[in-house]
């Protein structure tokens, strides 16, 4: 039983606390201002108690702070909480306990080692709660939730879960779907996320929080490599991306025929060994977001390498040996801070160069030596560049993206840089978005002959510019397939001409004021038809609803006036109606309805951006579209046998399905996993949902299924289920 801190202390002044222990250097709040309300208790020679210690019971504000000069040792829990702005515990030696449970804003500092047999939990910190351990931390589990901060002198010897932005150490399971999958179902709340209060309760009662099979991703990756080593000669691809690896996995060097290796998203890797040169069969290597500051010169020995991605690292320089990669055809280095990598101009087969969001001091004329270059992407990288080489001299250049963002340079590029692009007659894909007015730079104005010498263009991005009209040669582009004109200022007359000239070209015309002319007869007609289609669906006449909404969508042509909401709602409602019709259909009719549903659902999901402004009404509807259309699409793809794509779609739907009200989407994922033969992964989800919603009807067939019950019995024997 945990009790308040026991007798055996001496009350000291703030002056003594500062003189002897420099407390203000260690904690985050001005405790000296509250000495008239909080006494400072000093335990000299350490503190040993069998029962655990806790803050003042049943109060938001603790009337005391504690310094333990020596070790704090207890067989119970250290349980501290504070919701009034300050409460501290400073241990000058080691801390030993069953659990350390911190809630609110307590400040806990351990100058020595922290050792617990249960877990360390910090929650509801409101950015004021903090645990600082200067020595080693040994525990089965370390977790933080809701703005509680943790700092460790060494990475904890523990499974670490929670918010990586409030810990200075690698995290095994972030507070997201990965943690939910790793957690025992009894600590998952009704909203489908891990509940910090239930975690606290489990630790207090001595129950485990994570499933016994919840292997941290980096350890799972190690186990997978070990298993593959038995047939190392047969392995040609390894995808170890986003596995939270702590260092470069040396075992990959034991796969002699490896052609593709991805280590992307493991930002703790830090270095690549020189022995990477032994992977002589390597053709594709992804080292993006791996925390690198350098590459070994031996990378130049990878003579079969065709694709190299080193984006989003912290390089101070790059080895000249990169220029020795004779077969390299694609080189990506987003966010490069070394200046232009001149060695790439020696690459004889380079086809694609992507230096987006890099800080480039120049774009040298030597770039023109790349006679095979087809794609050049320099978005957000031109702020420090004074001139571009004559890119028209690159004989095969098809794709050029040069947006007007300042990127990481801190300066907006000069619009004069674009003067020569109109002479690159080989271009098929041109991106010159975001050249609006900025401090020291007027908005981009297209010359009258823009596009006149670019007859091959199929894709054009002109978004986020202040254009009101488009130059005459634009309307003579006969091969156009897609044009992005979002957030331009095109007039209604220009929109009308675009629609008449390019009736079959895909256009992104979102957020153009003239297109949302509510007084326009066309706008009103589409809006009325969408309302009629919705009403017809509500009356149960799904076929008529689909017909009406199709007619409305047919009017949403390039240049037409309509509300984005109306078009998206029409797609959303058609998917719903087709799904209902398909539920009652069989044979060829089901196939036809399913084909239509897949097409409309895909179109609806394309309309929803990756970043949803969920706090707006339209954003909330977009989330509903992702849920409903994503779930319907995943279900029909599953029934057609496209399990990989179905799983990808349902995962997207689940990103906006935190509530238990959306468990129907989890049901879809379970069915896909079962069809894919991934019974364990499916039953983990079933177990979690039934633990908090025993009556969930969609799982009625699984609740008593022999296969699930056998799995549950096995997992229960191992301590893995409720």
162 with 127, same domain: the answer is yes
Do 299 and 319 form a contact (C-beta atoms < 8 A)? yes
Phi/psi at 517 (nearest 5 deg)?
A: -80, 100
Structural domain of 47: 3-204
240 with 373, same domain: the answer is yes
Residue 25 in 3-state DSSP? helix
Q: Is 410's pLDDT higher than 90?
A: no
Average pLDDT (707-715) is: 88
What residue ranges in 314-366 does DSSP mark as E strands? 330-332, 352-354
CB-based burial, 665-690: b 16+ in 10 Å, e otherwise: bbbbbbbbbbeeeebeebbbbbbbbb
Band the pLDDT of 2: cuts 50, 70, 90. Answer: low
Average pLDDT (128-156) is: 95
Asked if residue 95 belongs to a domain, the reply is: yes
Q: Is 173's pLDDT higher than 90?
A: yes
pLDDT at 138: 98
Residue appearing with tokens 């050249």: 435
Q: How far from each other are the two terminal CA atoms of the chain, in whole angstroms?
A: 25
For 583-609, the pLDDT digits (tens) are: 999 999 999 999 999 999 999 999 998
152 with 266, same domain: the answer is no
Specify the DSSP element, H or E, that contains 604. helix 587-607
Q: How many CB atoms lie within 10 A of CB 439?
A: 6
Band the pLDDT of 717: cuts 50, 70, 90. Answer: low
Beta bridge partners of 151: 132
244 with 154, same domain: the answer is no
679, two tokens = 């019974």
Residue with the bigger pLDDT between 549 and 4: it is 549
Give the span between the Cα atoms of 672 and 639, in whole angstroms. Answer: 9
Asked if residue 650 belongs to a domain, the reply is: yes
pLDDT at 519: 87
Give the span between the Cα atoms of 363 and 547, in whole angstroms. Answer: 55
Average pLDDT (172-201) is: 89
Residue 484 in 3-state DSSP? strand
pLDDT at 128: 82
Q: Which of 367-381, 405-419, 462-476 is the least confident region?
A: 405-419
Give the span between the Cα atoms of 660 and 670, in whole angstroms. Answer: 15
Give the CA-trace dihedral at 216, 218, 221, 226, to 10 degrees: -100
Q: Give, as one character, the DSSP assignment of residue 412.
A: P
Work out whether the CA dihedral 220, 709, 640, 506 comes out positive or negative: negative
Give the span between the Cα atoms of 399 and 434, in whole angstroms. Answer: 17
75 with 197, same domain: the answer is yes
pLDDT at 722: 47
230 with 309, same domain: the answer is yes
226 with 313, same domain: the answer is yes
Asked if residue 88 belongs to a domain, the reply is: yes
Q: How many CB atoms lie within 10 A of CB 507?
A: 19
Asked if residue 478 belongs to a domain, the reply is: no
Average pLDDT (532-554) is: 97
- Alpha helices in 183-267, H assignment, sequence order: 196-204, 217-228
Q: Give, as one character, the DSSP assignment of residue 464.
A: S
Q: Is 615's pLDDT higher than 90?
A: no
For 670-688, the pLDDT digits (tens) are: 999 999 999 989 998 998 8
Highest mean pLDDT among 26-30, 528-532, 556-560: 528-532
Q: Is 59's pLDDT higher than 70?
A: no
Band the pLDDT of 434: cuts 50, 70, 90. Answer: very high
Among residues 431, 461, 481, the one where a domain terminates is 431
Among residues 410, 431, 452, the one where a domain terminates is 431
- Say what percent of the chain tops pLDDT 90: 82
Asked if residue 491 belongs to a domain, the reply is: no
55, two tokens = 């803050």
Give the span between the Cα atoms of 159 and 177, in whole angstroms. Answer: 16
199 with 229, same domain: the answer is no
Band the pLDDT of 477: cuts 50, 70, 90. Answer: very high
142 with 228, same domain: the answer is no
107 with 43, same domain: the answer is yes
552, two tokens = 């409305």
30 with 64, same domain: the answer is yes
Asked if residue 653 belongs to a domain, the reply is: yes
Average pLDDT (618-628) is: 95
| CA nearest neighbour of 141 among 176, 173, 106 | 173
How many domains would you assign to the chain?
Answer: 3
98 with 150, same domain: the answer is yes
Asked if residue 149 belongs to a domain, the reply is: yes
Q: Is 225's pLDDT higher than 50?
A: yes
Among residues 182, 204, 226, the one where a domain terminates is 204
Residue appearing with tokens 């992507």: 354
Average pLDDT along the chain: 93
Residue with the bigger pLDDT between 59 and 74: it is 74
Beta bridge partners of 66: 41, 89
- pTM confidence score: 0.84
Do 129 and 149 form a contact (C-beta atoms < 8 A)? yes
Asked if residue 426 belongs to a domain, the reply is: yes
Residue 116 makes CB contacts below 8 A (sequence gap 6+) with 96, 97, 98, 99, 100, 138, 139, 140
Do 96 and 72 form a contact (C-beta atoms < 8 A)? yes
| CA nearest neighbour of 382 among 344, 421, 429 | 421
CATH classification at residue 229: 3.80.10.10
Residue with the bigger pLDDT between 83 and 422: it is 422
| CA nearest neighbour of 672 among 647, 707, 697, 690 | 647
Distances (CA, A) of 291 to 51, 273, 283: 44, 14, 22
Residue appearing with tokens 């047999």: 117
| CA nearest neighbour of 655 among 247, 295, 178, 313 | 178
Q: Which of 119-128, 301-310, 387-396 is the least confident region?
A: 119-128
Band the pLDDT of 58: cuts 50, 70, 90. Answer: low
């Amino acid at each position: 039983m945990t009790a308040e801190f026991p007798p055996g202390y001496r009350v000291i002044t703030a002056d003594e606390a500062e003189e002897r222990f420099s407390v203000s250097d260690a904690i985050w709040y001005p405790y000296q201002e509250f000495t008239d309300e909080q006494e400072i208790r000093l335990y000299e020679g350490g503190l040993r108690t069998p029962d655990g210690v806790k803050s003042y019971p049943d109060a938001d504000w603790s009337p005391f702070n504690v310094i333990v000069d020596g070790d704090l040792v207890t067989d119970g829990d250290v349980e501290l909480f504070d919701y009034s702005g300050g409460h501290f515990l400073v241990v000058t030696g080691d801390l030993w306990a069953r659990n350390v449970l911190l809630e609110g804003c307590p400040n806990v500092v351990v100058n020595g080692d922290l050792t617990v047999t249960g877990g360390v939990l910090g929650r509801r910190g409101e950015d004021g709660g903090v645990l600082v351990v200067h020595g080693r931390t040994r525990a089965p589990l370390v977790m933080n939730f809701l703005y509680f901060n943790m700092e460790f002198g060494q990475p904890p010897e523990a499974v670490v879960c929670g918010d990586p932005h409030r810990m200075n150490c690698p995290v095994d399971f972030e507070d997201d779907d990965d943690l939910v999958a790793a957690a025992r179902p009894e600590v998952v709340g009704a909203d489908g996320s891990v509940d910090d209060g239930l975690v606290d309760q489990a630790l207090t009662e001595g129950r485990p929080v994570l499933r016994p099979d919840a292997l941290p991703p980096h350890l799972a990756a190690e186990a997978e490599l070990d298993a593959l080593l038995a047939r190392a000669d047969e392995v040609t691809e390894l995808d170890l991306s986003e596995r939270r690896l702590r260092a470069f996995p040396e075992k990959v060097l034991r796969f002699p025929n490896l052609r593709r290796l991805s280590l992307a998203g493991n930002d703790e890797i830090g270095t690549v060994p020189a022995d990477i040169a032994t992977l002589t069969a390597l053709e594709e290597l992804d080292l993006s977001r791996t925390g690198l500051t350098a590459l070994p010169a031996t990378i130049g020995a990878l003579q079969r390498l065709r694709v190299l991605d080193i984006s989003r690292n912290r390089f101070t320089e790059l080895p000249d040996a990169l220029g020795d990669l004779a077969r390299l055809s694609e080189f990506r280095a987003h966010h490069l801070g070394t200046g232009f990598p001149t060695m790439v101009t020696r690459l004889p087969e380079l086809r694609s160069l992507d230096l987006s969001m890099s800080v480039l001091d120049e774009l040298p004329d030597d770039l023109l030596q790349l006679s095979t270059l087809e794609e050049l992407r320099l978005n957000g990288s031109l702020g420090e560049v004074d001139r571009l080489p004559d890119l028209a001299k690159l004989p095969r250049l098809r794709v050029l993206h040069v947006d007007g963002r300042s990127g990481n340079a801190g300066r907006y590029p000069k619009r004069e840089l674009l003067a020569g692009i109109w002479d690159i007659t080989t271009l098929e894909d041109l991106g010159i978005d975001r050249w609006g007015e900025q401090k020291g730079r007027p908005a981009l104005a297209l010359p009258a002959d823009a596009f006149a010498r670019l007859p091959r263009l199929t894709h054009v991005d002109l978004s986020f510019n202040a254009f009101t009209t488009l130059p005459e040669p634009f309307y003579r582009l006969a091969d156009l397939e897609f044009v992005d004109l979002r957030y331009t200022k095109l007039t209604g007359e220009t929109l009308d001409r675009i629609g008449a000239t390019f009736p079959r070209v895909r256009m992104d015309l979102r957020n153009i004021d003239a297109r949302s002319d509510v007084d326009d007869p066309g706008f009103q007609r589409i809006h009325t038809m969408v309302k009629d289609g919705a009403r017809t669906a509500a009356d149960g006449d799904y076929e008529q609803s689909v017909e009406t909404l199709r007619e409305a969508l047919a009017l949403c042509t390039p240049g037409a006036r309509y509300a984005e909401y109306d078009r998206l709602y029409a797609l959303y409602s058609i998917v719903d109606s087709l799904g209902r019709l398909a539920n009652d259909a069989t044979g060829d009719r089901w196939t036809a309805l399913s084909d239509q549903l897949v097409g409309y659902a895909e179109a609806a999901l394309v309309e929803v951006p990756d970043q949803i402004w969920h706090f707006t009404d339209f954003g909330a509807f977009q989330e509903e579209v992702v849920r409903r259309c994503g779930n319907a699409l995943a279900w029909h793809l599953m029934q057609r046998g496209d399990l990989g794509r179905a799983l990808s779609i349902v995962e997207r739907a689940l990103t906006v399905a935190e509530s238990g009200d959306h468990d129907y989407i989890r049901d879809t994922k379970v069915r896909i996993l079962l069809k894919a033969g991934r019974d364990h992964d499916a039953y983990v989800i079933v177990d979690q949902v039934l633990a908090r919603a025993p009556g969930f009807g969609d799982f009625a067939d699984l609740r008593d299924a022999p296969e699930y019950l056998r799995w549950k019995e096995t997992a229960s024997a191992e301590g893995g289920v409720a």
